[in-house]
Amino acid sequence: MFRQLRYLWLVLTVAVWNTLCFVLPDFLDSQTDGWKSAAIILLYVAALSVGQMAIAAVLSLNRYVAAVGLPLYAGLGAVMAYYRVAFHAKLNPALIDAALHTNPAEAAGVISWQIIVWFVFQLLVAFLWVHWRWRIGDISHPWVVLLVSIGIFAAWYWGNGRLHHSANQRYPLHVARSVCRYISLRRSVSLPRQVPELRSVCPPDSLDVVMIIGESTRADHLSLNGYPRQTCPRLSVRSNVVSLPSIFSPYTGTAESVPHILTPADSLSPGKAYTSYSFITCFARQGYTTAWITNQDYGRTYAPFIFEADTVIAPNASKTVYVYHPWYDLDLLAPLDGLMRQQNGTHRLYVFHSIGSHWYYNNHVPPQCERFRPVITNRVLTQNDPAAIVNSYDNTVVSMDLFVDSVISLFVSRNAIVFYLSDHGESLGENGNWLHAAGAEETKYPAALVWYSDKYEQTFPDRVAALKNNRTKHYRTDYLFYSLLSAAGMEATGHSPAFDIFSPE
């Protein structure tokens, strides 16, 4: 009995230590503005410690398992916690991909004496636990303890949907999940797909095509579309901007929407989103150099399209929506500028995947775009004033305006066209709904616009005239694939005026 008590005391000590060192760092940058929200965060941390206790019980069950498992667990946790605090970085598939394709000099740049000291310190603590466990000796009924520990972990993990989702983002589950997701997306890249057939090709001598995938930006919050607040101060005075206020998206989550808008999938053939190559391959086969510049993690449903591009750049690969720290789309401008200086081809396609208006809104708004106040001050959605939520959301639209206008400014003197289409909209309290992915009506009308240069209008005057004539017509997001090809003088099998915003019909 005495050994059992000493074993339980060790388990509790390890669980509390691991919670403080490896779980709590995930919450240090969480914005809270009162005791109630702070209490909610502490309850989350306390609930997550139950999982740490079950893991500690299993790792400490046997002396030999403890001798290997506890140091490994502490060492890996030390690395994850250090980069989470020091760099606001969190492991995800995009970061894994970046790490696997980096060079030794770049890797050495993120290793410092501080992380070495922290890593060694955690190993020393783990070896103290191993020594403690070794002195306890064998405990009675270890299989019973193992089954109870597994049962507690299973009940903790699957007992509550919100806690289950949160646990997947914390150590150690987020490590296993990120590795599995990365392996899965790499496998998905190799799955067979069909190349859309191009019926006719009439390319200009040179052309830059830019596609910006927005995030959670709704059409009715653009001042370009009559919204009473000035959320588009730059695009509203930019010439050659055509906003499309009546685009309908049948999908309100990124995982479903992005594959749909990148491929020839439509309402009659939705499966093409998972069996066809995207427009990137179509452009590549016509001699375009292609690049995907992303401000989001790699999603399994659209990862195959990312790797169709010649160049993939993720400036903020270490960011996730669980990192409450500045995370701006403006960070994508430097890689774009670098590519434009390096690439010598006459035909170029650039695809951006922005973070846009994703929650937590303040994270994605640079200081110069904080136009509406007061803003949210709490990461717990329900603890914010509804008016402040709308203010912060509208500030993300101002940020989108700055980003898109900054991209456009790089192509003004070239033969170029820029598309912007958000993957879906966002609920802002209508009928008690918030955020997206729940299928609320307001999330089905994403913001969309097109900008063309003067040289483009000279090259394709009929297309520009048709675009202006079609701007208020109703389209599904199916239009994107065919309209992008049409803008570049290409036409794919399945093309019809219903899918083409450049069609005069």
In this predicted model, what pLDDT tens digit does every residue of 297-308 receive, in sequence order?
888 888 899 999
pLDDT at 87: 83
Tell me what percent of the residues of the chain surpass a pLDDT of 70. Answer: 98
Mean pLDDT across 409-433: 95
Mean pLDDT across 464-473: 96
pLDDT at 342: 82
Q: Report whether 129 contacts 27 (CB < 8 A).
A: no
Give the pLDDT band of residue 105 (cuts 50, 70, 90). low
Q: What's the rounded Cα separation, in Å, for the pair 472 and 310?
A: 35
Q: Which residues pair with 213 in a beta bridge?
A: 353, 421
Domain ranges in the chain? 2-188, 191-499
In this predicted model, what pLDDT tens digit does every residue of 163-194 receive, in sequence order?
888 889 899 999 999 999 888 878 877 778 99
User: CA angle 131-136-141, nearest 5°?
Assistant: 130
Residue with tokens 């919100």: 162
pLDDT at 197: 87
What DSSP line would sit under 173-238, residue for residue?
Answer: HHHHHHHHHHHHHHHHHTS--BPPPEEEE---SSEEEEEEEE-S-BGGG-GGGT-SS---TTTTTS
Helix, strand, coil percentages in the chain from 3-state DSSP, rounded to 5: 50, 10, 35
Residue 107 has pLDDT above 80, yes or no: no
Compare 480 and 37 and report the one with higher pLDDT.
480
Give the pLDDT band of residue 321 (cuts 50, 70, 90). confident
In this predicted model, what pLDDT tens digit does every residue of 131-146 receive, in sequence order?
999 999 888 888 999 9
Q: Report whether 235 contacts 404 (CB < 8 A).
A: yes
Residue 1 has pLDDT above 70, yes or no: no
- CATH topology for 191-499 is Alkaline Phosphatase, subunit A (3.40.720)
Least confident of 337-346, 456-465, 485-494: 337-346
- Alpha-carbon torsion 213, 217, 223, 229, what sign? negative
Phi, psi for residue 353 in degrees, rounded to 5: -120, 105
Give the pLDDT band of residue 108 (cuts 50, 70, 90). low
Query: Going by DSSP bridges, is the β-strand pair 434-435/448-452 parallel, antiparallel, or unpaired?
Result: unpaired
In this predicted model, what pLDDT tens digit does every residue of 84-101 receive, in sequence order?
888 888 888 888 887 887
pLDDT at 353: 97
Q: Report whether 246 contacts 473 (CB < 8 A).
A: yes
pLDDT at 106: 61
Compare 329 and 301 and report the one with higher pLDDT.
329
pLDDT at 99: 80
Q: What's the rounded Cα separation, in Å, for the pair 484 and 417?
A: 9
Nearest alpha-carbon partner for 290 in 347, 333, 330: 347
Mean pLDDT across 249-257: 92
Total-model pTM: 0.88
Q: What's the rounded Cα separation, in Å, for the pair 297 and 294?
A: 8
In 188-237, beta strands by DSSP E = 198-201, 207-214
Query: Going by DSSP bridges, is the β-strand pair 475-476/247-248 parallel, antiparallel, or unpaired?
Result: parallel
Residue with tokens 């019980």: 57
Considering the chain, what is the average pLDDT of its residues? 91
Residue 70 has pLDDT above 90, yes or no: yes
Nearest alpha-carbon partner for 387 in 229, 201, 156, 176: 229
